[in-house]
Every structure is written in structure tokens, then in C-alpha cells.
Amino acid sequence: MTAPKAHAVPASPTRMRPWRFVVWFGTVSLLADFVYEGARSITGPLLASLGASALVVGVVTGAGEAAALGLRLVSGPLADRTRRFWGLAIAGYALTVISVPLLGVVGALWAACALVIAERVGKAVRSPAKDTLLSHATAVTGRGRGFAVHEAMDQVGALIGPLVVAGMLALTGGDYGPALGVLAAPGVAVLGLLVWLRARVPDPEAYEREATPPANAPAPDGRLPRAFWTYATFTAATTAGFTTFGLLSYHLVQRHLMTTAWVPVLYAAAMAVDALAALATGWLYDRVGPRVLVALPVLTAAVPMLAFTNTVAVAVVGSLVWGAAMGIQESTLRATVADLVPSGRRATAYGIFAGVVGAASLVGGAVTGALYGVSIPALIGVVVTAQVLALVLLAVSGTGRRRQRGDSIA
């Protein structure tokens, strides 16, 4: 089976070549990840310092992910209906970069929990629009490669942010205020770059219109392709067992395996693994299709087996495996949706897809948080069972055997 070739770069009226657009959009994500991944690297210890239990950490981080995904059920169709992709993207980034520095100045647990969730709401507002904008350029560059490069750049910021936070914590003796306040600077840069990029490329859909003929048209009644729904079900199953880093870091600190200042360093290392996994699976996706997704349930099942031990080295390996699974989630899963759904319904599809996964994230966060305080072996058993189910769904649906690019699979 030969790899699909990237299309020749069209003479686009957008005034920026597709790869440049991908790279500049990747720079936006790099700066945004600098902000919010820096904060997320210490969410567990921060909430614990305000009196949160393992259950609270699990529920809040799970609810945050559910908000980041579930609310896209609204923002996705809204983006398709209004076609205001840039406006929604900018508004979502603004909510995120405002919420994060405020985390460093609140002193009440309820306020910190609200801001953690608000930051994730910002992601919900922007993500369907952002992914749709990016998908148009990747129609030229290759879906897997384009999304993979974007994700790799994204994770450069996710690596830098936690390291900066770790350095500030070390300098200030563990004071969260300065560590989170310093993240305001890249947040301002995010908004400035977005405004500039919008002026240069007001209509990214021109890339896809000029590069590819219409494909995978929706059914006459406007429904999304059947393969999209089977794919969303598989993704929900594997996400239901995905442990949040908030709970992983809670374990590391509460079991005295790692000091708070070192947790962001580990998170940065996990983000480096994330970038490498995204590049590898993105390249494979363009060659062999979504069958590469079989790796995701395997990695997800391995995370709690390794991360929730009382041995530092093994727990660290588990956190790095978590990073590899995240790399696949954030790149190849999104590339597959772009190939399954036509442009006119793509933001809606991203919203629905994320909503299904968001419900699974909420369940997974609550269940793993609750089971952590009762029985870690039981937690591992539940996660492994969910991943076996995900593999069965992937095999039964046939999604992993299909080559999506340019084919009708409804």
C-alpha cells in the first residue's frame, strides 16, 4: 500500500503557503501551551495545597477535560453555522490566557477549581474552529504530517511552560503566585499573533478548495458519515480509561516519590515524548492509515500499571507512556476526523466527536479518582477492561483497516 502524496502547493489568494500557515498556527499553539500546560503541570499539587482530596482532584481535572470536550457540541455547530472560525478561535484563546495567571492569586479551593475548568472551557470554545482552520491547510501538506507538525510545535510550548514554572517554584520556595503570573507574557503574544495571522489568511478554506475535489459528501439528510460514529465510539472507549496527569502528579507528591518542584519537569519530559509520538504516528498515518491507532489503547492500559507504583523510576516511565498516548490523541485522532468528514460539516464533527470523548473523560476522571483512594489494582483492572473493549470496537468497526484519504467510507 503506497503512501498518499501531498498535493502541489496551489497559487493561493491567502497570501501564505500552506506549510507556513501550519507552522505559524503551530507557533500560536506553542505559546498557548506555554501558558496552560505550565499551569496544568501543577494542577494536582496546587489543588492539594488548598485542601483538595484525590477524589476532588480527579473530579475537577476530569470535569475540566469534559468541559474542554463536551462544550464543543455547542461551539462546533456554531462555527459551521456562523463560519466565524477566526472569531471563535481568538475568543477561546483569550479565555484561557486570562484564566491561568489568576490561578496564582486566588486563595480559595472553589475559586481555583472554577479557574481550572474555565481554562478548559476556553479550549472548548476555540478547538473546533481551530482544528477546522488547520484541516484546510493539511489537505495540501498531508493530514498526518500537517497535524503532527502542529502537535510537535504545540508540545515545545508544553515542554517550556512546565520548565519555567518549575524554575519559578524553585526560586520562590514553592510560591504558586509568581510561577503562574509569569505565564501572562506568552498569553499576550498568543493574542497578538492570532490577530496578525487572521489578517494574512482570512479564508484558509481556499487551500482545500484549490487542492482537492469534493469528497466524502454528507448524506442527503445532512447526517455525518457512519464511519465517523463508529470511530467516535472507539475513541470514547479508550478515553474512558485515560488517567489525567493531575491524578498522576497527585500520586507522585502524596506518596513522596517526587517534590512539587520536580513534577513540572516530569510533565515537560512527557510533553517531549508527546511530540515524538505525534510525529511518528502522523508519518505512519499518511502511509498506512488509521490502523496505527491500535497503539493508543495499549499505551493507555500501560499508564496506571506503571505510574501508580511506589517505585520512582517505574512511575516516571508510566508518566512518559502517558505522554506518548497524549501525542496520538492530539494529532492522529484529529487527522482522522478531517479525512472522515467533509469541510462543510467538519467543525460540527469535531464538536460532536469531542463531546462524546468529553463524557468519557468525565467518567474516567471520576472513576479513576475514586478507585485510587480505594484500590489501585481495581483501578488498573477497570482501565485495562476499557482498553480491551476499545480494541474490539476498533476491530469490529473496520476503521483501522480503511484508508480514509480521498475515499468514500460512509
Give the domain extent around 83.
18-401
Is residue 200 situated within a structural domain?
A: yes
Say what the pLDDT of residue 268 is.
78
User: Is 181 part of a structural domain of the chain?
Assistant: yes
Please give the residue that has the higher pLDDT: either 192 or 42: 192
Question: What is the grid cell recorded at 2?
Answer: 503506497
CA dist., res. 300 & res. 125, Å (int): 27
Asked if residue 251 belongs to a domain, the reply is yes
The length of the chain in residues reads 410
Residue partners of 12: CB distance under 8 A and separation at least 6: 18, 206, 207, 210
Helix 263-288 × helix 18-40 angle, to 10°: 150
Q: Please give the pLDDT value at position 129.
A: 93
What is the torsion angle, in degrees rounded to the nearest 10, for the CA atoms of residue 272, residue 273, residue 278 and residue 284?
Answer: 140
CB within 8 Å of 388: residues ≥ 6 apart: 297, 301
- Spatial contact of 47 and 115, defined as CB atoms under 8 Å apart: no
Give the span between the Cα atoms of 166 and 261, in whole angstroms: 5
**Number of domains into which the chain is organized:** 1
Cα–Cα distance for residue pair 322/252, rounded to 1 Å: 14
Q: Is residue 177 part of a domain?
A: yes
Pairwise CA distance, residues 170 & 298, whole Å: 36
Residue with cell 517550556: 160
Q: Which CATH number is 132's domain given?
A: 1.20.1250.20
Query: pTM for the complete prediction?
Result: 0.74
From 4-18, 90-104, 254-268, the region with the lowest mean pLDDT = 4-18
pLDDT digits (tens, 9 = 90+) for 159-202: 888 889 888 888 888 788 888 889 999 999 999 999 999 999 99
Rounded alpha-carbon distances, angstroms, from residue 274 to 144, 196, 239, 319, 328: 15, 28, 16, 11, 8
How confident is the model at residue 404, as a pLDDT?
41
Q: DSSP characters for 308-320? A: TSS-HHHHHHHHH
Residue 11 lies in a domain: no
DSSP conformation letters of 184-208 = HHHHHHHHHHHHHHHHH-S-THHHH
What would the grid cell of residue 56 be? 476532588
- Do 270 and 165 touch, CB atoms closer than 8 A? no
In a domain, 69, yes or no: yes
Residue-wise pLDDT for 56-100, tens only, equals 887 888 788 778 877 888 999 999 999 999 999 999 999 999 899
Q: Is residue 180 part of a domain?
A: yes
Domain membership flag for residue 6: no
Handedness of CA 264, 269, 272, 274 (dihedral sign): negative
Residue 212, pLDDT score: 60
pLDDT band at 29 (very low <50, low <70, confident <90, very high): very high
Q: For 327-371, what is each residue's pLDDT tens digit? A: 888 888 888 888 888 878 889 988 888 778 777 877 777 888 888
